[in-house]
């Protein structure tokens, strides 16, 4: 791994996005999101995914110029059409809109249809928290898992984000409904390693820790078995209703994932309850959690987002780790 500065990465990604048709401010903003995801230790939704994002732009799946348009106003809820624009830019704009609505109503909610992969959902949770709001958002996806009781892929892994603002650093839950992501399975397969816990079924219907067996069977395990399967279904239902958009069923008919439905909620908590009040409550819960002694001589208990914040600080100081081969490939992208 080489370590590179945030600016250097962002500038290179901006150059490529400009070349594929983004205007300057949108290229910079989009490059910022990819760079920040990498800086935060989520390269799977940052640099690692950048080449395929650019590929989607070149193929016309992602329209670099499209900006979301409001379709229907239902009070504190609005429905927007993402017009197949860049997922990260669409999502950022919609969380901004939800935040604006929350200033007026206490709570704002946007349903966004016809958009593209938002990369890391946590980006938009952090955005809400930076604006003093509790951020809640989720997306549906193409079918990636079987529902509980079947071996046929039917449900999305539908990542869900809940982020609570806190001066010392937000609490950020960013989780998909599958126990392990395909990215994680692929990394472990390459290394020849096993999962720490069963992550799916093999072709014989046995629970397994072998990443290769799960990638072959397409039978990733939903979190909590039937519970995560049910939650994925409900997120898809509520999301496609709020967005008046496509469900996983319809998205899965397309050759490549596009036209997904997303929900963005912001709750205007800090300005209405007071920063000290919010911090007092959140800090007390976190302090109590961190006091829990480690089991079986393991490492200390962490709160969701704690590791990410530490990674961000380290990478901003020392530089962001980048795989040299990946960087070479990105540098070589001739559009």
Q: Interaction with its own copies in 150-189: which residues (CB under 8 A)? A: 150-152, 154-155, 162, 164, 171, 173, 175, 179
Instruction: State the nearest-atom distance from the C-beta of 209 to its own copies, in Å.
Output: 12
Nearest to 30 by CA among 84, 82, 83, 91: 91
C-alpha 45, offset from chain centre: 7
Instruction: State the nearest-atom distance from the C-beta of 46 to its own copies, in Å.
Output: 21
Sole window of 28-36, 51-59, 289-297, 319-327 interacting with its own copies (rule: CB under 8 A): 289-297
Instruction: State whether the Cα torsion 50-56-60-66 is positive or negative.
Output: negative
Distance CA 201, CA 229 (A): 14
Instruction: State the nearest-atom distance from the C-beta of 211 to its own copies, in Å.
Output: 16
Distance CA 107, CA 111 (A): 14
Kindly state whether residue 253 participates in binding its own copies, applying the rule CB under 8 A: no
User: Cα-flanking dihedrals φ and ψ of residue 107, to 5°?
Assistant: -140, 135
Q: Pick the catalytic residue from 26, 32, 45, 120.
A: 45
Q: Give, as ranges, the residues between 211 and 240 that touch its own copies (CB under 8 A).
A: 222-225, 227-228, 230-231, 233-234, 236-238, 240
Kindly state whether residue 289 participates in binding its own copies, applying the rule CB under 8 A: yes
Catalytic annotation present for 45: yes
Beta carbons within 10 angstroms of residue 112's beta carbon: 33
Sole window of 25-33, 72-80, 90-98, 314-322 interacting with its own copies (rule: CB under 8 A): 72-80
End-to-end CA gap in the chain? 26
Q: Give, as ranges, the residues between 118 and 137 that touch its own copies (CB under 8 A).
A: 134, 136
Distance CA 308, CA 126 (A): 11
Q: How are beta strands 160-164 and 69-74 bridged, if at all? A: unpaired
DSSP H or E run through 179 = none
CB-nearer residue toward its own copies: 19 or 241: 241
Distance CA 42, CA 38 (A): 5
Kindly state whether residue 279 participates in binding its own copies, applying the rule CB under 8 A: no
Total of chain residues touching its own copies, rule CB under 8 A: 74
CB-nearer residue toward its own copies: 300 or 328: 300
Instruction: State the nearest-atom distance from the C-beta of 42 to its own copies, in Å.
Output: 16
| Catalytic residue positions, numbered | 45
């Amino acid at each position: 791994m080489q370590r590179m500065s945030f600016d250097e990465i962002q500038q290179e990604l901006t150059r490529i996005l400009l070349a594929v048709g983004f205007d300057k401010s949108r290229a910079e903003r989009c490059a910022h999101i990819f760079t920040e995801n990498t800086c935060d230790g989520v390269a799977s939704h940052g640099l690692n995914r950048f080449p395929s994002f650019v590929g989607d732009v070149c193929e016309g799946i992602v329209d670099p110029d499209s900006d979301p348009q409001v379709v229907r106003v239902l009070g504190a809820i609005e429905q927007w059409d993402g017009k197949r624009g860049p997922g990260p830019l669409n999502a950022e704009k919609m969380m901004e809109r939800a935040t604006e609505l929350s200033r007026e109503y206490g709570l704002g909610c946007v349903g966004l249809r016809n958009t593209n992969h938002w990369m890391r959902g946590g980006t938009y949770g952090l955005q809400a928290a930076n604006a003093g709001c509790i951020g809640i958002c989720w997306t549906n996806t193409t079918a990636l898992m079987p529902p509980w009781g079947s071996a046929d892929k039917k449900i999305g892994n539908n990542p869900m984000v809940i982020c609570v603002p806190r001066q010392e650093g937000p609490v950020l839950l960013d989780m998909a409904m599958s126990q392990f992501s395909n990215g994680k399975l692929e990394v472990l397969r390459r290394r020849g390693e096993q999962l720490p816990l069963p992550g799916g079924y093999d072709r014989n219907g046995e629970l397994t820790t072998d990443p290769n067996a799960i990638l072959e069977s397409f039978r990733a395990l939903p979190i909590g078995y039937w519970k995560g399967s049910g939650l994925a279904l409900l997120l898809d239902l509520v999301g496609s209703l709020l967005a008046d958009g496509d469900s996983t069923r319809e998205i899965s008919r397309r050759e490549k994932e596009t036209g997904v439905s997303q929900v963005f909620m912001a709750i205007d908590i800090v300005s209405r309850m007071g920063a000290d009040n919010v911090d007092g409550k959140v800090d007390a819960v976190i302090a109590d959690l961190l006091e829990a002694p480690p089991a079986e001589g393991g490492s200390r208990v962490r709160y969701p987002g704690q590791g990410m914040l530490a990674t961000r600080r380290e990478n901003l100081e020392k530089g962001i780790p980048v795989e040299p081969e990946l960087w070479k490939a990105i540098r070589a992208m001739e559009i």
